[in-house]
Structure 1
Amino acid sequence: MSAFRSPRVLAGAACALLVGTVTACSGGGGAEDTASAAPGATAAAVAASGGGGELQSAYESTVKEVLPSVVQITTDEELGSGVVYDDKGDIVTNAHVIGNATDFRVSLATGGSPLAAKLVSSFPANDLAVIRLDSPPKGLRPARFGDSSKVAVGQIVLAMGNPLGLSSSVTQGIVSATDRTVSESGSGGGTGATIPAMVQTSAAINPGNSGGALVNLDNQVIGIPTLAATDPQLGSGAAPGIGFAIPASAVKRIADQIIKNGKVTDSGRAALGVTVRGVIGPDQQPAGVAVVSVTKDGAAAKAGLEAGDVITGLGSTRITTVQSLTAALAGLEPGQKVKVTYDRDGSTKTAEATLSSLDQ
Structure 2
Amino acid sequence: MSIDLTQTVPLVAPPPPPPPPPRRPWRAVVVTAVVTGVVAVAGTVAVQAALDDRPDDAGPAQEQAAPEERAPETAPPVTADGTAPDWQAVAEAVRPSVVAIAVRGPAGGSEGSGVVLDTDGRIITNDHVVAGGGRIMVTLVDGRVYEAEVVGTDPTTDVAVIALTDPPDDLVAAAFGDSDEVAVGEPVMAVGNPLGLDSTATTGIVSAVDRPVSTGSPGRGEPVVTNAIQVDAAINPGNSGGPLFDASGRVVGITSSILTTSRSSGSIGLGFAIPANLALRVATELVEDGAAAHAFLGVRLADGTARTADGTVRLGAVVVEATAGGPAADAGLRTDDVVVAIDDEPVSGAESLTAQVRERTPGDEVTLTVVRGGETRTVDVVLGSREEGRA
Q: Is the aligned partner of 1:59 residue 2:97? A: no
1:193–1:312: structure 2 CA closer, same or farther, 3 Å change rule?
farther
Q: Is the aligned partner of 1:251 residue 2:289? A: no
TM-superposed CA distance for 1:192, in Å, is 1.9
TM-superposed CA distance for 1:151, in Å, is 2.0
Q: Is the aligned partner of 1:24 residue 2:40? A: yes
Give deviations 1:135-170, integer Å, cap 9, x for gaps. Answer: 111100100011223323222221100001111111
Q: Is the aligned partner of 1:315 residue 2:339? A: yes
- Counterpart for residue 229 of structure 1: 259
- Counterpart for residue 203 of structure 2: 172
The one of 10, 13, 16 equivalent to 1:9 is 13
Q: Is contact 1:210–1:225 with CA below 8 Å preserved after alignment?
A: yes
Q: Given the two structures, how large is their TM-score scaled by the length of structure 2?
A: 0.66
1:155–1:190: structure 2 CA closer, same or farther, 3 Å change rule?
farther
Q: Is contact 2:77–2:175 with CA below 8 Å preserved after alignment?
A: no
Alpha-carbon distance in 1 for matches of 2:263, 2:38:
14
Higher helix share: 1
- Counterpart for residue 123 of structure 2: 91
Alpha-carbon distance in 2 for matches of 1:247, 1:328:
16
- Counterpart for residue 206 of structure 1: 236
1:187–1:251: structure 2 CA closer, same or farther, 3 Å change rule?
closer
Alpha-carbon distance in 2 for matches of 1:209, 1:222:
15
Alpha-carbon distance in 1 for matches of 2:276, 2:70:
13
Give deviations 1:304-340, integer Å, cap 9, x for gaps. Answer: 99xxxxx7665359xxxxxx64542323454447699
Q: Given the two structures, how large is their TM-score scaled by the length of structure 1?
A: 0.71
Alpha-carbon distance in 2 for matches of 1:39, 1:316:
38
Q: Is the aligned partner of 1:217 residue 2:247? A: yes
Alpha-carbon distance in 2 for matches of 1:277, 1:149:
26
Give the unaligned 5+ runs of structure 1.
48-54, 279-287, 306-310, 318-323, 342-351
TM-superposed CA distance for 1:355, in Å, is 5.5
TM-superposed CA distance for 1:103, in Å, is 4.6
SS at match of 1:331: helix
1:71–1:235: structure 2 CA closer, same or farther, 3 Å change rule?
closer
In structure 2, give the amino acid aligned to 1:249: N
SS at match of 2:258: strand
Give deviations 1:209-261, integer Å, cap 9, x for gaps. Answer: 01011112212111111111113xx6754462111111211122111222222
Give deviations 1:107-145, integer Å, cap 9, x for gaps. Answer: 1112223x1211111112111111111111110010001
Q: Is contact 1:33–1:144 with CA below 8 Å preserved after alignment?
A: no
Q: Is contact 1:69–1:143 with CA below 8 Å preserved after alignment?
A: yes
The one of 21, 45, 51 equivalent to 2:82 is 45
Give the unaligned 5+ runs of structure 2.
17-28, 48-66, 303-317, 342-348, 372-378
Give deviations 1:182-233, integer Å, cap 9, x for gaps. Answer: 111346999721101x2111110000001011112212111111111113xx
Alpha-carbon distance in 1 for matches of 2:229, 2:132:
27
Alpha-carbon distance in 2 for matches of 1:60, 1:190:
42
Q: Is contact 1:31–1:141 with CA below 8 Å preserved after alignment?
A: no
1:82–1:259: structure 2 CA closer, same or farther, 3 Å change rule?
same
Q: Is the aligned partner of 1:134 residue 2:150? A: no
In structure 1, give the amino acid aligned to 2:250: Q
Alpha-carbon distance in 2 for matches of 1:39, 1:331:
29
SS at match of 1:159: strand
1:219–1:300: structure 2 CA closer, same or farther, 3 Å change rule?
closer
SS at match of 1:62: helix
TM-superposed CA distance for 1:39, in Å, is 6.5
Alpha-carbon distance in 2 for matches of 1:263, 1:79:
24
Query: What RMSD over aligned residues (CA atoms) do the two structures have, in Å?
Result: 4.3
Alpha-carbon distance in 1 for matches of 2:82, 2:380:
48
- Say which is worse superposed, 153-162 or 1-10, in terms of deviation: 1-10
SS at match of 1:215: strand
- Counterpart for residue 226 of structure 2: 195
Q: Is contact 1:71–1:106 with CA below 8 Å preserved after alignment?
A: yes
- Counterpart for residue 144 of structure 1: 175
- Counterpart for residue 25 of structure 2: none
- Counterpart for residue 112 of structure 1: 144
- Counterpart for residue 60 of structure 2: none
TM-superposed CA distance for 1:358, in Å, is 5.0
Percent identical residues: 35
In structure 1, give the amino acid aligned to 2:297: L
- Counterpart for residue 51 of structure 1: none
The one of 267, 272, 287 equivalent to 2:297 is 272
